[in-house]
């Protein structure tokens, strides 16, 4: 088990593939090729309950949903052992990933950040980032308990300030 602040969710196990222990993973990354650069992954229901597995092989397979990652993990040698991993998440230590380019960030870094606008300095807190086909959305929980979605695009997100743990938005009228 590793410290959860250094873990990044890379995907979720959809189901076993075949009878030799291979698993299908729906990638939660914009670049599924990153799986081919990894030597190991951590698998669990959350960051605090993971088990480490060495990667034996990686294959990328086109599907109607995009790319599916087919993983063979050490010690997972038959369908039964693959089924025990079904529906779990696949994590990797961020230190095992290539460094981010200037201006890039992990969506998980946005969760918990304060959201503000020029009209409302305390708009809410980011609960999740929802990846959509057209654009990604910030799911923000307001102090009233209501949830709103703000498109994660330059037209609405003015600044992401990691130093002050705040996102400044400029929503159009009626969005909030």
> Tell me: the pLDDT tens digits for 28-77?
887 889 999 999 999 999 988 999 999 999 999 998 878 899 999 999 99
Degrees to nearest 5, angle at CA 106 with 101 and 103? 35
Q: What is the CA radius of gyration of the chain?
A: 18
Token readout for 18 is 């075949």
According to DSSP, residue 155 is labeled: T
CATH superfamily of 4-96: RimM (2.40.30.60)
Please give the class, per CATH, of domain 107-169.
mainly beta
Instruction: Specify the length of the chain in residues.
Output: 176
Closest by CA position to 70, among listed 56, 78, 59, 84: 59
pTM: 0.72
Q: Scanning the structure block, which residue is given the tokens 């980011």? A: 126
Tell me how far apart the alpha carbons of residues 79 and 94 are, in angstroms, rounded to a whole number: 29
Structure confidence by residue, pLDDT tens digits, 118-167: 888 899 999 998 877 778 899 999 989 999 999 999 999 999 999 999 99
């Amino acid at each position: 088990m590793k410290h959860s602040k250094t873990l990044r969710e890379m995907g979720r196990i959809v189901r076993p593939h075949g009878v030799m222990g291979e698993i299908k993973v729906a990638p939660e990354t914009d670049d599924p090729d990153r799986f081919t650069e990894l030597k190991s992954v951590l698998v669990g229901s959350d960051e605090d309950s993971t088990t480490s597995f060495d990667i034996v092989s990686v294959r990328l397979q086109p599907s109607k949903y995009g790319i599916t990652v087919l993983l063979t993990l050490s010690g997972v040698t038959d369908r039964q052992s693959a089924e025990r991993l079904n529906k779990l998440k696949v994590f990797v230590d961020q230190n095992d990933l290539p460094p981010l380019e200037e201006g890039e960030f992990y969506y998980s870094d946005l969760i918990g950040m304060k959201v503000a606008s020029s009209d409302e300095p305390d708009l809410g807190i980011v609960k999740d980032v929802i990846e959509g086909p057209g654009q990604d959305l910030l799911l923000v929980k307001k102090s009233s308990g209501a949830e709103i979605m703000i498109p994660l695009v330059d037209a609405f997100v003015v600044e992401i300030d990691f130093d002050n743990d705040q996102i400044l938005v400029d929503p159009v009228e009626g969005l909030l």
